[in-house]
Structure formats: structure tokens, C-alpha cells
Amino acid sequence: MTRITSQMLTTAAQRNLAHSQAALARLQEQGSSGTKLAKPSDDPAATASALEVRSAQRAREVHERNANDALGWLGTVDTALGQSTDILRRVRDLTLQGSNQGVMSAESREALAVEIDALKDALLQQANTQYLGRSVFAANSLAGSAYAPDYTYSGVAGTSLERRIGPDSNVTVDGDGVAAFGQGATSVFALLDGISADLRAGTAVSSRVAELDSRMSAISTQRSIAGSRYAQVERGKDLLAMSKNELEARRAGLEDADLGQIIIDLKMQEVAYQAALSVTARAVPPTLLEFLA
């Protein structure tokens, strides 16, 4: 039979009191800090889950920044293509005027050619539109402009610039310059040069109208593509906004302390600790020194 000594009682009492005091201190710390996870050892499983949630929150923030950047790119592309369409409509009107050779004097044709030249320069400026210092129609090219004065394209045909707006969602944010404007001698800029040259030479330009219509159709197609991508990014932003609330709710459930419940637990733990002190004082027999004192 095991003999229960005073030392054993004292040691057990001290151990139980220390455990109760630690629980009391933990509740006090949770109440003052507002978090249940002051250190990983408080709840290793919850800590691991909280780290995963925080990692997902950081990824969501990156995706949101990418989505905002994508909207900026695509909005700039849409505006540039819209302006380009307006310019080509004006060129088409001037070309139709110039096709009336019987009533057009050399001075009138020259005036039309001068305006078309100015419109060509404006169209080239739209094709060289930049967003945050980069051309929106030159894909991954770092050149300052998509088109040189000789209409050479600085980008690489077939490449694109993408932004990741979700865990499994990428979107192309640049415009396809070659598809919209062409390049070199087959570009829309060369077409406008040809129209103004024909007007000055007195050559019939009626056949050029169909070429302009083809170019306007190509630009409209690229604008529609940019618009669909813009809508895709907006839907992605809506999903990111929903996930933001969900992730924050999960994080709060894992980390944030319920102050009302902590106050109740704290009061109960204080009562338990005071009771343990009282019981220990009665249960542990006094030592010889305490008796002699």
C-alpha cells in the first residue's frame, strides 16, 4: 500500500494550483489581447488553420490588386479603340467626299488629304497609347511605343500580357495591336497614307472605302474582346469581395476571442482558483516550523 505523505499532498496541491493559475492567466491574456491564439501552443490545430486562412487572405489581396490593374489596362485599351473607330469614321466620310471626282478641285482634294494626314497621326497616337508607362498594344514589349514612325510593330505578334485575378483565373489585359491596326505596309496607317496620296494625285479613292470598312471591323472586334475581358475581371472582383468576407469570418472564428464568453469563463476560473486555495489551506497539514511559529 502506498503511503500518502505530507510532501506528496503539498506537491500535488502546488501542481493543481499552478495549473489553475495558468488557466486564469491565459483567460486574462485573451481578454486583454482580444485573441485566442497568443502563441501557437495555445491551440496548435487552430494556429495551423489560422495560418492557412491568412495565407489565403494575402493571395486574395494580390488577386484584387491584379484585378484593379487589369481594369486599368482594359479600360485604356477600350478607350483607345473607341477613339480609333471615331477617327476612321471621319476618314471614311472624307474618302467618300473625295470619291466625287467630278466636283472636286485639286485644292479641295488637297484639303481632304491634309485632314486625313492629321487623322493618321491621331490614329498612330491612339495605337501608341500607354498605361503606367507601357504601351497597351505591344504585349510584353518594353518599348515606349507600339509603332515606330515607319509603322514597324515593336511587340511580338501572338504574345500577350496577363494578370492572375484568382487562384485559377488569368485574363489578358493588353490589346492585340497587329489584329487591330496591322503593321508595316499592310497597316491601317499605310492605308491612310495611300488614300491621301491618291487624293493628291487625283486617283479614284472609292475602292478604299471597303478597305476602311475592313479595318474598322477589325478594330471593333478587338474592342468587343477587350469589353468581354473587362466584364470577366469585374465578375472576378465580385467573387474576390465575397471571399474577403468569408475568409475574414473564418479568421475571426479561429483567432478572435469572444469577450462575453471570456468574462464568464474568467469569473468561473477565479471562483475555482479561490476555492482551490481555500481547500488546499485546509487539506495540507502544517509543517513543524509553522506549528512552532
Predicted local distance difference test score (pLDDT) of residue 278: 66
Biggest distance spanned by C-alpha atoms of the chain: 135
Predicted local distance difference test score (pLDDT) of residue 54: 80
- Please say whether the beta carbons of 164 and 60 come within 8 A: no
Domain positions in the chain are 52-251, 258-293
Question: Any idea what DSSP says for residue 101?
Answer: G
Grid coordinates belonging to 113:
488629304
Q: Which amino acid is at 263?
A: I
**Model pLDDT for residues 240-271, shown as the tens digit of each residue:** 988 888 888 876 666 655 555 666 665 666 66
131 vs 128: CA distance, rounded Å: 10
Which residues of the chain fall short of a pLDDT of 70? 1-43, 101-102, 157, 251-293
Q: Are strands 162-166 and 134-135 parallel, antiparallel or unpaired?
A: unpaired
| 131: helix, strand or coil | strand
220 vs 223: CA distance, rounded Å: 5
* Residue 209 region by backbone torsions, left for phi larger than 0, else alpha for psi between -120 and 50, else beta: alpha
Question: Any idea what DSSP says for residue 138?
Answer: S
208 vs 217: CA distance, rounded Å: 14
Grid coordinates belonging to 197:
496620296
**C-alpha separations of 96 from 7, 67, 91, 282, 288 in Å:** 112, 43, 9, 111, 120
Predicted local distance difference test score (pLDDT) of residue 6: 58
Q: Which amino acid is at 212?
A: L
Residues 6+ apart with CB under 8 A from 111: none
Predicted local distance difference test score (pLDDT) of residue 262: 60
List the alpha helices (DSSP H) in 163-207: 177-181, 188-201
Distinct helix (H) and strand (E) counts, the chain:
8, 4
Looking at 1.10.1280.10, 1.20.1330.10, 1.20.1050.10, 2.40.50.100, the CATH number of the domain 52-251 comes to 1.20.1330.10
